[in-house]
Structure 1
Amino acid sequence: MGIEIALYDGHPKRSRLPARSLHLSTAHGPALAEALAAHAAPGGRLGAVDPYGDTLLNEQDAAVAFDEATALLARCTTEGQRAAVRDLRNLLANCAATPGSWLIFLGD
């Protein structure tokens, strides 16, 4: 099981105009799923990521989730988890800084 992450310049499922993919992260899928399952705080944005379906975050959600990812990084127990969460933090920061963008977590 793994979770991939895609960053779009608009809503990837509801836009009248097709959203353009800005970045796709596929290198850390299993480690990211493991880190989120083991260490994400329940009730937070990252704790709500569905490992089996799609979860979307807009730019405001991404800004909040960035702080959660920073705390998550401190709780990771393997280098693979840490690399996955560092990649996640970069994507969350890019999403938060890009007006109208969306981040989608693509679960297995």
Structure 2
Amino acid sequence: MGIELELHSRRPARGKASRDSLIRGSYQHGDALARVLSGLHRRAPGKLAWVDPYGNTLFNEQEAQATLDEVAPLEQQCTDTRQKAALRDLTELLEACAATKGSYLWFVGD
């Protein structure tokens, strides 16, 4: 199980057409990110608890901005350096998405 991240300039199309809008991807921390996010309870406040590790989840720029505050508490709970690296990468992509009008952050589950 892993979660890859892709930042898109617009809502990504399905399949190979999604490459047309790809700005940046993060593919090296998928397993660590999935482990961190799987520890969140579905009824927890915020949006990260709703990321589907087996499917796809999209955040628009407003959702990305709102989610930024959820990452810092998660990083404090991590003892694994791979998990911390995954959360730093997530933070960078959330910030970029929040700063890019019309963009989407795509959580690509296994």
Q: Which runs of 5+ in 1 are unaligned?
A: none
Residues 23 and 92 (structure 1 numbering): CA distance in 2 closer, same or farther, change over 3 Å?
Answer: same
- Distance in 2 (CA, whole Å) between partners of 1:22 and 1:91 is 10
Match of 2:75 among 64, 73, 76: 73
1:31 equivalent to 2:10? Answer: no
1:35-72 CA distance string (max 9 Å, x none):
11125772321110000000000000000111101221
Q: Which residue of the partner structure matches residue 64 of structure 1?
A: 66
Partner in structure 2 of residue 11 of structure 1: 11
More moved, 38-47 vs 80-89: 38-47
Could you tell me how far apart the structure 1 residues matched to 2:79 and 2:95 are? 23
Give the secondary structure class of the aligned counterpart of 1:22. Answer: strand
Structure 1 residues 58, 100: CA separation in 2 closer, same or farther (over 3 Å shift)?
Answer: same
Q: Percent identity?
A: 48
Matched residue type, 2:6: A
Q: State the number of aligned residues.
A: 106
Q: Which amino acid aligns with 1:11?
A: R
The list of structure 1 runs, each at least 4 consecutive aligned residues, that deviate by more than 3 angstroms after superposition, is: none
Gaps of 5+ in 2: none
Question: Is 1:39–1:72's contact at 8 Å kept on the other side of the alignment?
Answer: no
Please tell me the residue identity of whatever aligns with 2:28.
A
